[in-house]
């Protein structure tokens, strides 16, 4: 059983990730089966298995579970047809009846320290604030405030992670921009938000 487990894990990782025109910090990781296109990811973040990330800016200390979809390609709903057979760029279809230029790159922005649960869908162009939590299976079609916890289809606010005064202090501290050396000094207080902020501000 143990050998079978590790063999399955090996095969899962063997697929690799499809990464193109992207920048991923050396301390971050993209798991196998994920497509990461025209995107960037900051420090100490990770993206799970079998995700599709397109045209996204992702901050530091983000935790993205498996099967998450971020961004996507828009279709021209103002044309007579939304089919790519009338568009100039290459795609999955073979036939072309016209060559209209239409391939907008809509950026999706995800702040730092964001947790996105398994199977969530994030619409292209959405802004997700720092410290937000996106529930598993959530369909996010609108901007999400910093430190908000949202879930559902469409995603709705469940609650804030902290009282407003602590949220303001955390955002003002910009702790995610600290050096690894400074983070090691304050990390022991991460379970005490107010004390953590005090330590960060005293550095």
**Which residues lie below 8 Å from residue 75, measured CB to CB, with a gap of 6+?**
82, 84
Which position among 23, 75, 89, 100 bears the catalytic label?
75
Determine the Cα–Cα distance for residues 149 and 46; give it in Å rounded to an integer: 19
Q: Pairing between strand 46-47 and 29-30?
A: parallel
| C-alpha span between 98 and 84 (Å, rounded) | 9
Cα distances (angstroms) measured from residue 193 to each of 161, 165, 166: 11, 11, 7
| CA angle, residues 189, 135, 200, in degrees to nearest 5 | 20
C-beta separation of 120 from 137 below 8 A = yes
Q: What is the Cα–Cα distance from 172 to 170, expressed in whole angstroms?
A: 5
Is 44 catalytic? The answer is no
Q: What share of the chain is helix, strand, coil (3-state, %, to 5)?
A: 25, 25, 50
Hey, which residues are catalytic here?
75
């Amino acid at each position: 059983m143990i050998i079978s487990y590790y063999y399955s894990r090996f095969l899962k990782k063997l697929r690799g990730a499809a990464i193109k025109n992207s920048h991923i910090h050396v301390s971050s990781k993209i798991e196998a089966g994920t497509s990461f296109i025209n995107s960037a990811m900051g420090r100490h973040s990770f993206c799970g298995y079998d995700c599709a990330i397109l045209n996204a800016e992702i901050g530091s200390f983000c935790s993205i579970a498996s099967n998450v979809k971020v961004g996507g390609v828009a279709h021209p709903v103002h044309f007579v047809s939304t089919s790519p057979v009338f568009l100039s760029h290459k795609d999955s279809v073979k036939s072309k009846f016209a060559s209209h230029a239409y391939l907008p790159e809509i950026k999706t922005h995800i702040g730092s320290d964001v947790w996105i649960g398994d199977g969530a869908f994030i619409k292209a162009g959405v802004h997700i604030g720092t410290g937000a939590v996106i529930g598993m299976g959530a369909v996010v079609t609108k901007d999400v405030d910093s430190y908000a916890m949202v879930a559902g289809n469409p995603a709705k606010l469940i609650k804030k992670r902290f009282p407003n005064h602590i949220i303001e202090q955390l955002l003002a501290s910009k702790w995610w921009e600290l050096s690894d050396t400074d983070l090691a000094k304050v990390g022991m207080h991460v379970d005490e938000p107010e004390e953590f902020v005090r330590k960060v501000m005293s550095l």
